[in-house]
A and B are shown apart, each in its own frame.
Chain A
Amino acid sequence: KAGVTQTPRYLIKTRGQQVTLSCSPISGHRSVSWYQQTPGQGLQFLFEYFSETQRNKGNFPGRFSGRQFSNSRSEMNVSTLELGDSALYLCASSRTGGTGRVDEQFFGPGTRLTVL
């Protein structure tokens, strides 16, 4: 069974640009969550999507947005990039998203974003 895939794996952008990252969940998984990982802050929750609806959002500015498609694939977008947005962006999928039961999240390899 294929795992979570993320594209691209590496990105270099300059301040002010925007970027779109893509995530394909494990087949059959309907929940997709996004996290930002930095050395200082660790893993921080960005948002979670289930059946094309954003159900939860972390404490990040509106420059960070996302969406989910009918096939459960998800994208996240960061507009007006800042130097502090340099991080590893991780996508995780789970079967039901925790509705009524605990559901393990499985992570992709991440996209390393560098903002110059």
Chain B
Amino acid sequence: EDQVTQSPEALRLQEGESSSLNCSYTVSGLRGLFWYRQDPGKGPEFLFTLYSAGEEKEKERLKATLTKKESFLHITAPKPEDSATYLCAVQAPYTGAGSYQLTFGKGTKLSVIP
């Protein structure tokens, strides 16, 4: 069974204090790893897709990286508006009968204090 574990569960940072969120996964034949941001009471907002180990993607203060066992979301010089829950999800191989489902971790709640 696919497993996705995110750590830490919660993280408080001072504005400008860089850090990383971790997403470790066990899945046979990873096809894609996704990062989402979710604000309270809203649906997840898509951030990145990573396809293979060694891949990196950046967007503003966020940078996502992928290895064979885990992914990191690096946040550089965060601002209060970066406060949100960050979710990681994996997609296993398509099985032909229809296997497009994402398995999500429980998320990391990030709070950035001014």
Task: Report the separation of the CA atoms of residues A44 and B39 in the bound assembly, to the nearest whole angstrom.
Answer: 18
Taken together as a complex, chains A and B put the C-alpha atoms of A109 and B42 apart, in Å, by 5
User: Does A33 sit within 8 A of B, measured CB to CB?
Assistant: yes
Asked whether B44 lies within 8 Å of A94 as measured between CB atoms, the reply is: no
Interface residues of A in 49-98 (CB under 8 A from B): 50, 53-56, 58, 90, 92, 94, 97-98
Q: Are A105 and B46 in contact (CB under 8 A)?
A: yes
Q: Which of B52-111 contact A (CB under 8 A)?
A: 87, 89, 91, 94, 97-107
* Interfacial residues, chain B to chain A (CB-CB below 8 A): 31-32, 34, 36, 41-46, 49, 51, 87, 89, 91, 94, 97-107
Task: Give the top 4 A-B pairs by smallest Cβ distance, nearest first.
Answer: A55-B98, A98-B100, A107-B43, A102-B32
- Can you list 16 A-B pairs with a CB-CB distance of less than 8 A? A6-B43, A43-B87, A45-B103, A48-B98, A50-B100, A55-B100, A56-B100, A56-B101, A58-B101, A90-B43, A98-B100, A99-B100, A100-B94, A107-B36, A110-B42, A112-B41
**Considering the chains assembled together, what is the distance between the CA atoms of A106 and B94 in angstroms?**
19
By a CB distance below 8 angstroms, the chain B residues around A25 are: none
Neighbour of B101 across the interface among A33, A53, A108, CB < 8 A? A33
Which residues of chain B are near A42, meaning CB under 8 Å? 104-107
| Chain A residue with Cβ nearest B47 | A104
Main secondary structure of the interface of B (DSSP, over half): loop
Query: When chains A and B are docked, how far (Å) is the Cα of A54 from the Cα of B105?
Result: 24
* Contact assessment for A98 and B44 in the assembled complex, using a CB-CB cutoff below 8 Å: no
A104 and B46 CA atoms in complex are apart in Å by 8
**Nearest CB in chain A to that of B89: its residue:** A43
- Beyond contacts A33-B101, A53-B98: 19 other A-B pairs, Cβ-Cβ < 8 A, are A4-B43, A33-B102, A42-B104, A42-B105, A44-B104, A56-B97, A90-B43, A97-B98, A97-B100, A98-B91, A99-B94, A100-B94, A102-B49, A102-B51, A104-B46, A105-B46, A107-B46, A108-B43, A109-B43
Shortest Cβ distance from residue A60 to the other chain B in the assembled complex, whole angstroms? 12
